[in-house]
Every structure is written in C-alpha cells, then in structure tokens.
A and B are shown apart, each in its own frame.
Chain A
Amino acid sequence: MSIAPRKPPLQFALRLKRALGGKTGWNGLAAQIGFAAILAWIAYEIVANARTNLETQHIASGFGFLNYNAGFDVNQSLIAYNNSDTYWRVFFVGLLNTILVSVIGIVFATVIGFVVALCRLSPNWLLSRIGGIYVEIVRNLPVLFQILFWYLAVLAALPAPRQSISIFSTFFLNNRGLIVPLPVSEPGLYPFLVALVVGIVVALGLRHHARRALFQRGQMIRIWPYLLGCLLGLPLVSMLVFGWPLKFELPQLKGFNFAGGARVIPEFVALTVALSTYTAAFIAEIVRAGVMSVHKGQMEAGSSLGLSRAATLRLIVVPQAMRVIVPPLTSQYLNLTKNSSLAVAIGYPDLVSVFAGTAVSQTGQAIEIIAMTMGVYLLLSLTTSALMSVYGWRINRSMAA
C-alpha cells in the first residue's frame, strides 16, 4: 500500500486563513463577516430609526445648541462663567468639576486605603480590628446613602454664616463652606515664579549629578546646602528685589454671607469625603490582598538582613505587591470617577448635574448630550486606565531588571 504524497499546502494561504478565521478557518471567517454585517445593520437601523422619530416629532437635533446661551448659574466653577455663557462653557465647567472631585477623591482614597490596609495587616490587635470594622461598615453601605449622610451631617454640624466659627479671623467655617483668604497676584509674582522654576531645575540637576557621582565613582557629595540655596534663596532674593508675590484678600461678613476670599463649598467636601472613604474601603482590601500575595519568606528575608518592619514593607514587600495591586486599583479609580455622577443628589455641579441634567431639560436634546457625556466618561476612564497601565508597566520592568 503506497501512500500518495499530498501536495503541501501553501504556507501563505494557511497563515492568512489562521489569522482571519482563527481555528475554524474559512468558515470562521465567514461567520465573522456575517456577524460584523449584522452588527453594522443593527447600528444603522438604530441610527436611522432615531433620526426618523426625531424628525416626525419635530424634536430639535444636531449640535448647534452648544453655541446658545445657557442662561443659568453654577455655584462652583474653575473657569470664569456667568449665565450669559454658552452651553459649551457649561460643558467645560461641569467637566472640570467632575475631574476636580475625581482627582482629589482618588488621592485621598489611595492614602486612606493604604493606611487602612496597613492597619488591617498590623500585628497590633486594636489596629487590625479598627481597620476591619472600617472596611466592613463602609463598603457595605450604599454610596448614595453615604453621600447624603456626609452632606446632611456636615450641614447639621455647622453654624449659620453670622455665627461662623472663626480661626484667627482669616479662616471661617459655616454651613456655606470653608472661607479662606484669596491669594491675589502682585507685580512681584512673575519674577518669583521664574526664580522658583530656575531653583527647581538647578536643584534637580544637582541631584542628578550627585547620584551619578555616587553610583559611578562611589563618591558622596554633600549637596543639601546648595539645594537649600536654590529652592529658598533664589525666591527670597526675588522677593527682596521685586516685592511680595501675593497678597491675601481677607473674607468679610456682608449681608447674608462673606464677601471676598475663596470658598470651598460643603457639597464638594461632602462628595469628596464620601467617595474617598467609600472607595478607600475597597482599596484597603486590594492592598491587603496584594501584600499577602507576597511570600512571607520575603518578610523574613528582610528581617534577617536587619531591616526594620517598616523598611521591609516599604523596600521589599510593597514594590512586589504593587504588581498585584495596580490592575484592581485602576478599577477602583474608575469606579470613583463614575460614582462622582451621584453629585446631583446633593447639588454639586458636576458634568451629569449641569450638562446631562439642566442642559438636557432646557434644550431637550437628550441624545446629543447623553452621547457627549458618555464619551467624556469613556475618555476619562480610558485616560486613567492608560496612566495606570504605564505605571504597572514600569513596575513590571523594574521587577524584571
């Protein structure tokens, strides 16, 4: 019995088949094309259907409304805004408020989360129990409830403006928020900033030089007097020559409220506190899991080298744990950003409240506005993810090295 030699298949065709159709070959490819076609058709139907419906009901569509006057006010804005600005500006006001609360919330949540995790991991009985109770209480209550709790608790505890708690007559605390002196720029500001930047650049250069000397030649250079001179001396000289960079405008009670000064509104405080304490409970568990994933031999190795417990954690355990911590930590950061949209419940003017709320009901253009808002959240989330990926990649690289 002779076996007829089969013609070897074309390598290129085989590869193409594999690449396009996966293991199922040409059939798989056909199925994929069919599926993509169906998806495209559904998308087309949805868009066409929405467009027809909007037209038959004479609902305004398009993005022209963004250039119209918004006509309403917002109580916290990082950029100049008044009620005769456009919806575009409202969009940016809301966006910046969302970013502000997210970034500050993320910073606080991370710090609190790490502290609570270290408490839970502590051999101290009391500390670990306190950490455990914190996590179990905070993560098991709905976040909206916590936001309302912080808002109403903060408000109830604070006095009316006329009975403000005054701290050295410069800081005032009342149920309108925390009023602080507002820095106002003076002619000396720009020379001061230039001196500061120059000082920082020179200081960084010095540090680089010193590290190279240490690692390459084993030479220790004492640089701190020079650093001090750069960072403090230069700005001081600038102040002596050009005068004060800033003066502070003190808040004063006028009518119902304080005039002058800058103000942190209680809505912002309540939202930041609620979001960061809530997210911190999850972060604490993630950090604890990360630290526990590092073999305890590492801890023992650290102590056998004579490192203290804190130093072992900082130099050996936490860097290894970060590899496990970063991916779920990213999810928590994203959750915090998205949860910030609950702000509307307590009147904090975030993107959802002013743009996807007030602007929708004034213009009626729900589809456009919701699409824009969704796009923004997607962009914020993807940016956070990307940043965290870069961080994770750097950790992995340094581990491998």
Chain B
Amino acid sequence: MAREREAITKQNVQRTTLKGLPMKRVSLAVLLAAVAALSVQSASAQTLKTVKDRGQLSCGVSQGLPGFSSPDDKGNWTGIDVDVCRAIAAVVLDDPTKVKFVPLSAKDRFTALQSGEIDVLSRNTTWTVSRDTSLGANFTGVTYYDGQGFMVKKSLKVNSALELNSASVCVQTGTTTEQNLADFFKGNNMKYEVIAFGSIDEAVKAYESGRCDVFTDDASGLYASRLKLANPADHIVLPEIISKEPLGPMVRHGDDQWFDIVKWTLFAMINAEELGITQKNVDTMLKSDKPEMKRVLGTDGNLGEQLGLTKDWVVRIVKAVGNYGETFERNVGTGSPLGIARGVNNLWNKGGIQYAPPIR
C-alpha cells in the first residue's frame, strides 16, 4: 500500500512539472512556425519581388574561371558571366554592385538553382535539351558560343585529337564534357582512361602533375586554365573541337516574368552593340532622334515597364557593364589575358552568329 501511494504522489509531482514547464510550449511554437514557413514557402514565383525586397541579387557563378567568373585578390568578381549578373542587378536594383556571387562547382550548380539558393545561374553552362527540361530550368540565351577541346603537353608531340588512343584524360565531373568525351573516343574506336575531379582546379593540378596526358574542357576554359599553369607555353590546345557548347544563363521554371527579364537583359546587351551604344556614348545617344534609338533607350514608349522594369533599363545595363562587345573584349577578348578572337561570337552582321531578337 505504502509503495503504491508513493508511486501516486510521484506521478502527481511529475504531472505538475510537465504542465508548469514553459519551455515545452515555446519549443512547440517554434516547431509550428517552422512547419508553417515550410508550407507557405512553396513555389516562390515572384523572383523579381523577392530580389527587390532582399535588395540583392543572388547569382550562381563558377569557383574561378578567368574571363567568365573569377574573383581577384580583393574579392571583386569579373568576367562575362559576372557582367550578366551585374547587368541584371542594374536593371532590377539600379546598382550593379548589389550582387551576391555564389561560387558553385559544376555538380552542385543545378541543385542550387532548383532549391532557390540563387536567383540566376550564370556559370558557363551548356544549353542542352535535357537541362532545359528535366532540370526544371530555362536557358535564357547564349553568352558565349563554345566547343570542347583538348589540351596536351607539347612534349608529347601530338598534333591531333585522333592521336590520343590509350591516353589518360583529366576532366571536371558533372559537365557535358564527360559525355562528349565518351562519345568522341567511342566514335573513333579509341581507348582512354577518364579521371573525373570535383573541381576544375583539382583536375588541372592532376594534369600538371602528369597523372593525365590530356586535359579536356570547353575551349575557352582550356585557354583560361592554361593561364594558371606554371609554364603555359609548354602546353597546346589541339585544333579539334568535338562538340557544340552554347553557354548561357539559367533560371528556374515557373516564373515567366523573371525569365523574360534575364533573357532580355542579355538581348539588350547584344542589341546595344548592334546599335553602337557604348558605355562612353550612351549619354549622347539619349539625345538621339532616331526612332529605334529612342525606343531602345526608353525616351519613347514603355518597353521597359512591360518587362516589369523601368523605362531606362537599357541605359542602366550599358552604364553598368557596357554592351556585349565591350564585355567580351574586356573579359576574354584580344585585349584580355585570355586573348580569344571574337570568331563565332561576333555579331551576325559581322561574320559571327550572335543575334538577338529586336527590342520593339
């Protein structure tokens, strides 16, 4: 009996402590709030509003590919892909510096875009049908027409990619490069060994240490990586280009307005070059009487407002980063350390294939 009663009193005591404990209620409230937040946050279609509210554009870039996106010793990002981000920040937030650059490895980039960690992926990404559909993302245009190539040591005395039978090839994992490589060697009945690394730096380091005979990447990437080698002159890029690699920015499915903004920011850069609007002359161009110029620069009509932006959106872009040609020359062109000729990336009326739909 006595033991029983003791047990009952013990129960009573514990019951009161349980009821009187405020901590439990607090943690429950936090839990509920978390769940509510989770369920409300589904499918944020309002990227434009989110970016404006945040006051910053979150832009996914590479972990350091000179000419496309790489940080300098002070942490300032430069490159073609970076300029696209800055142009978007300029039209949306009127300040090209309000960009948070998120460095992503090739294999993490799509997950970052899908999960909403970044608003736009501008990271030398090849436009393919599977990426445009099953990844839940849309490509918004082509910033750079590229193709995959091979880099070898000059001492190997190889002049063509067709002489690479039984070679070891270093590559960055999570890229179209891996599949192109498999197709190329299979198609030419050649054997090879692939060593796939998590980041481009590791792949280049392994190539330099002699683990591989060949390093393969998009041709622009080869030139950029060659700059990082101890003796760039000891390495050559073979003439064969084995694939089409149109590189461009990407946005999530389900937000057409944001898709339009990113798409037309790039088109505006290309159109600006075609019309001869540059960073230097944009202010004088504003006084132009030409109807086309007035339409593009927003002194006439409301094309910018139709996009959900302001009338002077093209002016903001050109003032921030210049037109497409200026961006190209500054980052990868003959004036830059990479020294890549315009080639196919020239405008359609200058022998290239860069072509943007008209702003009207």
Contacts and interface: CB of A to CB of B under 8 A. Distances in A.
Contacts of B156: 256
Contact of B205 (A48, A152, A175, A358): A152
Interface stretch (B71-79, B126-134, B285-293, B325-333): B126-134
B107 interface: yes
A267 B210 contact: no
Contacts of B174: 357-358, 360-362
Question: Which size bracket describes the interface of A in this complex?
Answer: 35 or more
Contacts of A75: 193-196
Contacts of B170: 347
A330 interface: no
Nearest to B43: A56
Contacts of B182: 71-73, 83
B193 A347 contact: no
A344 B198 contact: yes
B165 A24 contact: no
A257 B253 contact: no
A61 to B, nearest CB: 9
B209 A175 contact: yes
B114 A155 contact: no
A361 B18 contact: no
A27 B18 contact: yes
A59 B45 CA distance: 15
Contact of B134 (A9, A53, A175, A364): A364
Contacts, number: 178
Contacts of A256: 156, 164-168, 213
Interface stretch (A39-47, A192-200, A203-211): A39-47
A45 B173 contact: no
B211 A45 contact: no
Per DSSP, are chain B's interface residues mostly helix, strand or loop, or mixed? mixed
Interface string B187-205: 0000011111110001101
Contacts of B165: 255-256
Given A71-B182, A257-B166, A49 B39 contact: yes
B354 to A, nearest CB: 27
A364 B197 contact: no
Contacts of A23: 10-11, 14
B198 A41 contact: no
Interface string A47-82: 011001110111110000000000111110000000
Question: Which size bracket describes the interface of B in this complex?
Answer: 35 or more
A87 to B, nearest CB: 13
A254 B18 contact: no
Contact of A57 (B43, B173, B197, B211): B43
A31 interface: yes
Contacts of A266: 211
B202 A56 contact: no
**Among the interface residues A59, A160, A361, A366, which one has the most CB atoms of the partner chain B within 10 A?**
A361
Contact of B35 (A41, A158, A176, A349): A41
Contact of B107 (A24, A42, A360): A360
Given A259-B166, A349-B196, A353-B173, A360 B111 contact: yes
Interface string B252-277: 11100000000000000000000000
A363 interface: yes
A363 B252 contact: no
Contacts of B178: 72-73, 358
B38 interface: yes
Contact of B38 (A49, A254, A354): A49
B31 interface: yes
B197 A362 contact: no
A57 B110 contact: no
B166 A254 contact: yes
A46 B198 CA distance: 30
B284 interface: no
Nearest to B135: A364
B244 interface: no
B149 to A, nearest CB: 18
B38 A27 contact: no
Interface in B99-118: 106-111, 114
A366 B196 CA distance: 19
Contacts of A401: none
Interface string B170-184: 100111001101110
A151 to B, nearest CB: 8
Contacts of B280: none
Interface in A330-371: 344-347, 349, 353-354, 357-358, 360-366
Interface of A: 6, 9, 23-25, 27, 31, 38, 41-42, 45-46, 48-49, 52-54, 56-60, 71-75, 83, 151-152, 155-156, 158, 160, 175-176, 254-257, 259, 265-267, 344-347, 349, 353-354, 357-358, 360-366
19 contacts: A49-B42, A53-B43, A57-B114, A71-B179, A72-B196, A73-B182, A75-B194, A175-B210, A175-B211, A176-B211, A256-B165, A267-B195, A344-B173, A344-B198, A346-B206, A347-B203, A353-B198, A361-B110, A361-B175
Interface of B: 1, 4, 10-11, 14-15, 18, 28, 31, 35, 38-39, 41-43, 45, 106-111, 114, 130-131, 133-137, 156, 164-168, 170, 173-175, 178-179, 181-183, 186, 192-198, 202-203, 205-206, 209-211, 213, 252-254
Top 5 closest pairs, chain A to chain B, by CB: A59-B136, A361-B174, A60-B134, A364-B135, A57-B136
